[in-house]
């Protein structure tokens, strides 16, 4: 159970990176904005290293008692998490600077309310599907 909770704590934020990772693959972020590309991927490398130390408890497993005060896996977790946040701040600042250089067009009615209505329709379809499955289970 604690292993699952620790893993979930890292899997959830990593899954939130999927849109940016998809953008970097589809639109070649490496050539369009190399600074953002480096900061973004380095951030997730730091998070993976932090997750490794937090989940594996490596230093104190190898030498029990030696890493009780300095070098504990939880301390390493915080160091690598800080490094990931540091990179995140840099890529957010860089992304905002790029946006301010050439702002996008104003949003349209169809591009805002239209997408909201489409999302609502999809959610209604999913809920109806689950309700129909629940009715079948009762019978």
Closest to 35 in 3D by CA, of 81, 79, 97, 82: 97
Q: Is 53 exposed, middle or buried (0-12, 13-18, 19+ CB in 10 A)?
A: buried
Dist. CA 8–CA 57, nearest whole Å:
16
Which H helix or E strand runs over 52? helix 34-56
Q: Do the annotations mark residue 78 as ligand-binding?
A: yes
How long, in residues, is the chain?
A: 139
Q: Do the annotations mark residue 90 as ligand-binding?
A: no
Closest to 91 in 3D by CA, of 11, 9, 17, 8: 17
Annotated binding site: 74, 78
Annotated binding site for Zn(2+): 74, 78
């Amino acid at each position: 159970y604690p292993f699952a909770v620790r893993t979930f704590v890292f899997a959830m934020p990593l899954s939130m990176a999927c849109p940016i990772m998809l953008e970097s693959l589809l639109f070649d972020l490496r050539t369009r904005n190399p600074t953002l590309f480096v900061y973004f991927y380095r951030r997730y490398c730091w998070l993976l290293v932090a997750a490794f130390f937090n989940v594996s408890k490596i230093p104190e497993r190898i030498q029990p008692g030696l890493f009780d005060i300095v070098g504990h896996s939880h301390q390493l977790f915080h160091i690598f998490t800080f490094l990931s946040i540091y990179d995140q701040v840099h890529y957010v600042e860089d992304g905002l600077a790029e946006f301010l250089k050439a702002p996008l067009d104003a949003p349209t009615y169809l591009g805002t309310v239209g997408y909201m209505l489409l999302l609502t329709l999809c959610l209604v379809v999913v809920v109806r599907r689950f309700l129909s499955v629940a009715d079948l289970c009762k019978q």
